[in-house]
């Protein structure tokens, strides 16, 4: 058994969605000057590896501090979706035997455009998935107008929460124990999250 960190490091200059605030950190106090070290942080709620709450797209939807703990801790299925190519469609997902899966993490090919709308609807309709994660900055193509995939996933009852910006390079495919705990930001639409998988070997 080993633990794998599936979180991307927060570093100045890292990718953020166009229009999001850049990640910044500055020393406020230093050991040399003040006898203790302390830094300030400036970042968006969707910086780096993060959890999208329904409130990201749904008026009155659950906020990130309301994420059910039992969803954030438990078995997750890691699926290698590189063979799906650029579009992760319903036919690919349907071949993965996901009916009973609650937490699904997708390792995608370089240049992937993420889930299609049809794939998101299939997840809603045909599986028990309540949390879907992906190793890209977004679950859908960054240039998709109006973010229909986010709306399908977050807008359902119950919602499917979304983990974005995972690093799954060192995580084998299969069933692993997931722990993903976002900052408890009151009333927020999302939050950075630390994601760790316990991999049985
Ligand atoms: Zn997001």
Rounded to the nearest 5°, which phi and psi values hold at 28?
Answer: -100, -40
Confidence grade of residue 165 (pLDDT, cut at 50, 70, 90): very high
Separation between Cα atoms, residue 157 and residue 116, nearest integer Å: 20
pTM: 0.96
**Residue-level pLDDT at 200:** 87
- Going from the Cα of 151 to the center of ligand 1, the distance in angstroms, rounded, reads 12
For 112: left if phi > 0, alpha if psi spans -120 to 50, otherwise beta; the answer is beta
Q: What angle do CA 20, 187, 130 make, to 5 degrees?
A: 85
Q: Which residues contact 171 (CB under 8 A, 6 or more apart)?
A: 4, 6, 78, 105, 107, 197, 199
| 46 C-alpha to ligand 1 centroid (Å) | 5
CA distance 104 to 2: 20
pLDDT of 37-86, one tens digit each?
999 999 999 999 999 999 999 999 999 999 999 999 999 999 999 999 89
Mean pLDDT within 140-150: 90
pLDDT at residue 29 greater than cutoff 90: yes
Confidence (pLDDT) at 144: 82
The DSSP annotation for 80-127 comes to E-GGG-SSB-HHHHHTT--TT-SEEEEE--TT--BB-HHHHHHHHHH-
Ligand 1: distance of its center to the CA of 138 in Å? 6
Q: Among this protein's residues, is 56 annotated catalytic? A: yes
pLDDT (mean) for 139-159: 93
Q: Catalytic residue among 17, 46, 50, 56, which?
A: 56
CA-closest candidate to residue 158, choices 54, 46, 52, 50: 54
**For residues 119-133, average pLDDT:** 97
Mean pLDDT of the chain: 96
Percent of the chain with pLDDT over 90: 94
């Amino acid at each position: 058994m080993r633990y794998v960190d599936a979180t991307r490091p927060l570093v100045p200059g890292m990718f953020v969605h166009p229009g999001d605030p850049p990640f910044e950190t500055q020393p406020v106090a230093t050991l040399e000057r003040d006898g203790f070290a302390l830094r300030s942080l400036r970042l968006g709620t969707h910086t780096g590896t993060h959890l999208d709450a329904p409130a990201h797209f749904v008026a009155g939807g659950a906020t990130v501090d309301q994420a059910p703990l039992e969803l954030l801790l438990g078995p997750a299925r890691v699926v290698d979706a590189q063979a799906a190519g650029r579009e992760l469609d319903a036919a690919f997902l349907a071949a993965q035997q996901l009916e009973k899966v609650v937490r699904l993490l997708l390792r995608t090919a370089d240049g992937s455009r993420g889930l299609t709308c049809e794939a998101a609807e299939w997840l809603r309709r045909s599986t028990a998935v309540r949390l879907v994660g992906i190793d890209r900055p977004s679950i859908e193509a960054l240039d998709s107008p109006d973010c229909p995939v986010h709306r399908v996933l977050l807008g359902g009852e119950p919602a499917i929460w979304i983990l974005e910006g995972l690093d799954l390079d060192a995580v084998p495919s299969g069933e692993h124990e997931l722990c993903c705990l976002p900052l408890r930001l009151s009333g927020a639409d999302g939050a950075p999250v630390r994601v760790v998988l316990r991999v049985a070997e």
